[in-house]
Structures are given as structure tokens and as C-alpha cells.
Amino acid sequence: MNTPSNLTSSFNDEVVAGYFTFRWLFFLQDFQILELLLALFVFVAIHSLRQKKLQGLPVWPVLGMLPSLAVGLRANMYDWLTDILRHQNGTFRFKGPLFSSLNCVVTSDPRNLEHLLKSKFPNFPKGPYFRDNVRDLLGDGIFSADDDTWQRQRKTASIEFHSAKFRQLTTESLLELVHSRLLPVLENSIKQSIPVDLQDILLRLTFDNVCMIAFGADPGCLNPGSPEIPFARAFEDATEATVFRFVMPTCVWKAMRHFNVGTEKKLKMSIKGVDEFADDVIRTRKNELSLQCDDIKKQRSDLLTVFMGLKDEDGQPFSDKFLRDICVNFILAGRDTSSVALSWFFWLLDQNPAVEERILAEMCGIVGEREEVKRGESQSPLIFRAEEIKMMDYLHAALSEALRLYPSVPVDHKEVVEDDVFPDGTVLKKGTKVIYAIYAMGRMEGIWGNDCREFKPERWLRDGRFMSESAYKFTAFNGGPRLCLGKDFAYYQMKFAAASIIYRYRVKVVENHPVLPKLALTMYMKHGLKVNLHRRDESELQKYFKIK
């Protein structure tokens, strides 16, 4: 017979048993949920990773390919992009997060480049997305403009670039800068036995040069002591901050700009420095022109003066804002591209001494044809003549090879106006953003052969003479209607500066100096280029001269 106490004890046991059973079932339920979540994660991960074989990168739910982009940004972004394109036969679609602006087609196929840069040029403008991203820095200048705005600037600049007066100005100003400033600065580093940042020196050289020929102003950036030029730092920081807009959703950088934080805060401060310089140049030029007679005004051949004398579509003089955009765009074109290319050239030369030997032999062989050299007369200080610079085919080839591997503008952007199809079969919908990867093109075996990663100037020579390649295979100077107007001047500038340095000095990169590209509109070296200079002996040069 069950007593009340026994009944109570039995009831308590049942309660305890029920409690533990409930906890066990709840635990099992939790465990099953975790199993389900884990299984779901594994399924999503496997599915996303499988997309890599088909689309080049894993495609994650909601995030798209953004995680892979984040990884690429932490390393060498351009090598990362090249590796993807190599495995995707030259073209792939980048899928950004849902509702973001990062979706685009990336290509390095020369057939596609000819299609968008030439054959269907009107269907591939820079587009509103590009202009929106760079407007704060470049405004409506030639680099970002489309249609009538672009055509008007290009036509005016083209007339000036091909005038005899402009060509004379460029050669005379470059000669003065190299011999009165560049070489003394380099010689001073030898006297002090200190390494120098060659990239910084070359940026100063090209900055002074572009200001002379584009604005008729001499900022004196390249002088002993390397005076601090606030604009130069502001401009470099602005180009770096601007490019970050292209690798983050538009809503993110616009929010950062609204709250003035991160890279947008840096960009705002940098652009203030850029604007102050441009405004000062414009104000100074206007004051000078107001005090000069018409005959003297006509003698000036700098681009800023030319644009100041023109009228807009309403018959009014161009605004200071438009003139400011002109200034900034031509500084980007004339300062960064040549100096950055020369920096990579001298780094490659240090790694390839045989190429340096051939360049030196070519230069001495050309100078050796001078009548005074044949008579045994001294050539100190030697100044290369314009016609001699043009004869330096191997140097031209070596610079082109440097630009093939390290183009000053590593990627560029277009936008599709109407539905189209690339020659490789890629379907393009209206509004699609297209990135053409110029850096990657130089490393494609299908374009340049199995030795595409080697520095071989000989690939540009035919019977000892330089032979150019298609602008859609070698796109360092763009192609089609937007082919770089300053291409010939850029080559002359680079050849004259390089020849003047190589003839006098052996340039040796400081041991263990890190060399990496910087993520910016132009491909600066992230840590500069620290070098030691060694003066060449006269006896070293004499063995190269071909005295008849």
C-alpha cells in the first residue's frame, strides 16, 4: 500500500525525470539546429567556392565577390586581378554585394579593347559612374569628360601640342630643368654619400616641367634641399583617396563624405590644397595678362593662356572652375605618368644590367658620330641633341618594355550606353561598367608569349629599329579617339631624362628596399625608390665610343 510520503517521493522522481528529459530534448533540439546551420554553411561555402571555377572568384550570398576583393586589396591588387584574368581567358564578371555599385566586367582581351576604344567608341564613354567618383578631384577636365566637353578640350589641346612653338617650349624647358636642376641635385647626393628617393626627384622634375609648358609657371619644386611643395603631397593623397571610391559601394563612400570620416576626410583636405594651387596659378596668370599688350599675349604658348582666350558655348570666357579642372587634369597627365614610368624603368634597369650596358653603348655610339668627337674634342658637359634622342631605338624599346610591365595607369573605366556584345562573346547590358586591365595585359601569355613576365626590350626591335605595337595590345597610352595627345612628348621627356642620368651615373637600388605598387589613379611606388648613385669614369665611357 502506497503511503502519502511514498506518493510524494514518486511524484518528485517523475518531475525530476521529466525535467531532465525536457532538458535533454531541448539540448538535442539545439544540437540539431547547430547541425542544420553548420550543414547550411558548408553547403553555401561549397557552392560559393564552386563558382570560382566558373566565374573566377567565389560568389557569396549577399556579399558577392566582395570578400575576395578585400583580400586582393591587402596584397598587390594588380597581380591579384591578373591571376584571375589569366584563369578566365582574359575576361570575367565581378559581382559585388546586393544593391551595390561594384558590379562590372573586367577584361584584358585586345579584341575587346579595340571594340570599346575604337570600333564602338561612342557606345563606351567614361560614363556617369566614373565622373561621379572623380568629380571632386578632376571636375569636368579631359580625363573624366565625355561628348562636347571632352571634344572641345581635346581639339584645343591637340592644336597646341602639334604647334612648332609648343614643341620648342617643351624641349627648351626640359633641357633647362635636367641640366640646371636634376643633375645638380643628383650630383649633390653623391657628394654627401646619401641615398635619394629617385621617384620623388622625378616627380619634382615632371611637375616643374608640366607647370612650365601647361601654365607658363615655374613652381621650383626640383631644387637643392627638395623644398616642400604642399600641392604635390595634396595631389598624390587626393589621387589615392579617389581610387578607393572605386572599390567600395557608392552609398558607403558618400556616407563617409557626409560624415567627413576615413578616406573621404583625407580627400576633402587634399582637394583643398589642390584647389589653392590651381586658383593661385589662374589668378597670377590673369593678372599677368591684364598687364600685357596683345602682341605679347599672342606669343605665349602655354595651354592655360590659350584656354583663357577661348569662349564657352554661350560666348562667355571659361569660368575659373573650368580653368581649374584644366589645370588639374593636365598635371595628372604630365606629372605622374612620365615620372612613375621612369621610376619603374630604373628599378628594372637595376635588375637587368645587360640592358643598361646596351643602352649606354647605343648612346655613346650615337654621340660618337659627332664631328667634334671624331676629332677627339672634349664633350663635357655633354648635352644630348633632340635628333640624337630620337635615334635611340633601344632606349625607346626599354622604356616601352617598362611601360608594358608597369603602365602608369594600370586600369581604366568605361560604361555601356546601349546593349552590346564583346568580340569574345561577353554580353554587355546598358549601364554595365567595364574595367580594362592594362597592367594585366602586359602579363598575358596569349598576348606577349611565354616570356611575358620578363623584361626584354628586344621584343620591340625589328632589325635593330624600334617597332611599335597595336594600341589595343599595348595600351599604356590608351587608344582610338582618346589616344594620349602627349605620347610623343612623354617619350621624348623620358628618353632625355633617362639618357642624361644613365650617361653620367650607375643607379643602384638600396639593398632590401621594398618595391610595391601603390593603389592610386597612377601606379606610384608605394615606398618610393631609394637609390645610390655612382659616377661613371671617363674611361668607362670611352670603351663605348665608336671613333672612326
Please state the three-class secondary structure of 391-432 as a single string: HCHHHHHHHHHHHHHCCCCCEEEEECCCCEECCCCCEECCCC
List the one residue out of 442, 431, 445, 423 whose CA is nearest residue 517. Answer: 442
CA 279 – CA 286 distance, rounded (Å): 11
Please state the three-class secondary structure of 69-126 as a single string: HHHHHHCCHHHHHHHHHHHCCCEEEECCCCCCCCCEEEECCHHHHHHHHHHCHHHCCC
**SS3 assignment, position 330:** helix
DSSP annotation of 505: E
Residue carrying C-alpha cell 633617362: 498
Task: Say if residue 452 carries a ligand binding annotation.
Answer: no
Please, which residues bridge with residue 57 across strands?
none
CA 497 – CA 499 distance, rounded (Å): 6
Q: What are phi and psi of 154, to 5 degrees?
A: -65, -40
Amino acid present at 2: N
Q: What are phi and psi of 464, to 5 degrees?
A: 85, -5
Q: What residues contact 78, with CB distance under 8 A and at least 6 apart?
A: 410, 411, 437, 439, 440, 517, 523
List, as residue ranges, the binding site: 484
Q: Which residues are annotated as a binding site for heme?
A: 484
